[in-house]
Chains A and B, each alone.
Chain A
């Protein structure tokens, strides 16, 4: 019995894998190929045809437009947000995992409960607060909500991670002359790197694609991030599908690169959390 199911899975896993690969990459290939066509081609040739020449003209046009501003904005907002998320969530996780204080468990419960608050419920209050603080339509408008909405899940992941650090290490560090802050910085933070990379990459990807807050809290092209670029270009290039798809490709590319470099860490981090937790 076990033998048969083993054989079955040996066959079915690659087949399923190939199928899934097709499902996920075909649309992307379609986007990339179409982005290299001329507008003329999209009318005359069949939709699935390869481009007549692999031209980068659309890309050049997009890059010469305001694309780089959007890219810079996204990079800025996401870098600062992710750094803040990592610092705040790892410190909070250490405190929740190891420091003894009243209401520790209650506080942890409250933070985890934050994961189930639907984002869109907070949209109007956040908009009003941003206005009141005078941050509306600046890049800094996005950082606050981005960090805040990412914290619950990040703290949850990292707390689980830090709970697994053996207590003796903490005690050895105490004998070696570390206070709570140094124990965090020299022992807990470095030992949680798999979890921290997971948190950084996962949130980076989520925020890179974030649309709603960016749409509500900014209005001028100088302060908008990449997900809004598609939106803006649609207006600008009307029905120029190849150019819009060039924008889409350019926005996805950084993510694909980051994921290619970091995917092993993400998977390891998630596995470590789930297996031991």
Chain B
């Protein structure tokens, strides 16, 4: 039993509420990623689960057992810190054995577990070294080894890769994925603000928001599978946070709504169909249309339906894809990401076709209107 449940959890430092109204269920063996902008409380939430930080109110359960007041060492959790937090005055072996020693594990059992972990992580030759004699990647492995030997129910990672260079980061990311495969029964919670890491690793992403909305809407902006968050964002914050470049947001008004979907009109007059349920709203209601840059496809000449016309202001070619900048106001960027090299474009507005299923509609409150088609049955044709 390694599931983690948070019920109505709240955290404040003095008068400042950092986390509000957190309801969350992490299943046995699930790989859960806490994602969000800097300062939103990802680390704080993780440290509350670890027991390093107190829970201001609400229930925290691990394996069904209430853990709010249980000592960190008795929660069956192990944590890997961003800066590794290896004990500098101990050898790699002693670092890994320290927790087991405190728990009065027999010596030969300690030796066995450290050997196995060292072998898995390929750090056997380093066991006698001090942390300062290791490279960043090796330290990271030792930190992970220290977590493994404790055979925890839950692994907690706080931005474990952010101190590594880009190439090593990708490599260690695979190793962490392998770790999850090797310990299928342990749950993992992984904090990052890197959405690529989150998309690559997660079974479930918990996207936290920051700012004033925390108190009115709760800290969790959305939780679900990576693709669910990507294709079916529940609100503008989630839609804008995931994806790079960010989703384009265009002001529209509702023309009509029925069981098939909604039809909206852009300020420049184009008509777009979106398969969402807008029947509660009356025609003329102001809405926001969301379209990801990669879903803005240059339309063949003569296409008239489902197009957005924009003037191309500048172009960036990266070889594998190109960005077309379609807005002259930096505050409301609008970008099209196209697969081909773009060397020159027409003078006037260019037409971009958008598939109805790639469009999102948000009401004045920032909430997404409910999608009519199911996310999983969606065709990506």
Contacts and interface: CB of A to CB of B under 8 A. Distances in A.
Given A169-B87, A171-B52, A191-B88, A176 B81 contact: no
Given A166-B83, A168-B81, A168-B83, A175 B88 contact: no
Contacts of A172: 79, 81, 85-87, 146
Q: Give chain B's interface residue range (CB within 8 Å of chain A).
A: 20 to 34
A272 interface: no
Given A174-B73, A190-B89, 7 more contacts: A168-B81, A168-B83, A168-B85, A171-B52, A174-B52, A176-B99, A177-B103
Interface in B14-65: 47, 50-52
Nearest to B73: A177
B259 interface: no
A99 to B, nearest CB: 15
Interface in B132-178: 146
Given A174-B73, A176-B98, A191 B78 contact: no
A169 B89 CA distance: 11
B83 A175 contact: no
A233 B265 CA distance: 108
Contact of B102 (A171, A177, A191): A177
A178 B72 CA distance: 10
A156 B102 CA distance: 31
Contacts of A139: none
A180 to B, nearest CB: 12
Given A168-B81, A171-B52, A171-B81, A178 B102 contact: yes
A168 B82 CA distance: 9
A61 interface: no
A195 to B, nearest CB: 13
Contact of B99 (A166, A177, A187, A190): A177
Contacts of A174: 51-52, 72-73
A13 B270 CA distance: 81
A182 interface: yes
Interface string A158-175: 000000001011011111
Interface in B91-125: 98-99, 102-103
Nearest to A165: B88
B324 interface: no
Contacts of A177: 71, 73, 99, 102-103
Contacts of B81: 168, 171-172
B89 A175 contact: no
Most buried by B among A169, A172, A186, A187: A172
A176 B102 contact: yes
Nearest to A191: B89
A178 B103 CA distance: 9
10 contacts: A168-B81, A171-B47, A174-B52, A175-B78, A175-B99, A176-B98, A176-B99, A177-B102, A182-B102, A191-B88
A177 B102 CA distance: 6
B296 interface: no
A187 B87 contact: yes
A57 B79 CA distance: 69
B335 interface: no
Given A166-B85, A169-B87, A191-B88, A175 B79 contact: yes
Contacts of B52: 171, 174-175
A182 B99 CA distance: 12
Given A168-B81, A182-B102, A175 B87 contact: no
A195 B85 CA distance: 21
A175 B72 CA distance: 5
B77 interface: yes
A166 B87 CA distance: 10
Nearest to A179: B71
Contacts of B73: 174-178
A178 B87 CA distance: 13
Contacts of A169: 85, 87
B213 to A, nearest CB: 30
Interface string A79-121: 0000000000000000000000000000000000000000000
A191 B85 CA distance: 13
What 4 A-B pairs have minimum CB-CB distances, sorted nearest first?
A: A177-B73, A176-B99, A177-B102, A168-B85
A102 B175 CA distance: 45
B108 to A, nearest CB: 20
Contacts of B51: 174-175
Contact of B77 (A173, A175, A187, A190): A175
A178 B82 CA distance: 21
Contact of B85 (A171, A178, A182): A171
Contacts of A171: 47, 50, 52, 79, 81, 85
Contacts of A182: 102
Nearest to A182: B102
Nearest to A176: B99
Contacts of B89: 190-191
Contacts of B102: 176-178, 182
A169 B102 CA distance: 15
A175 B70 CA distance: 11
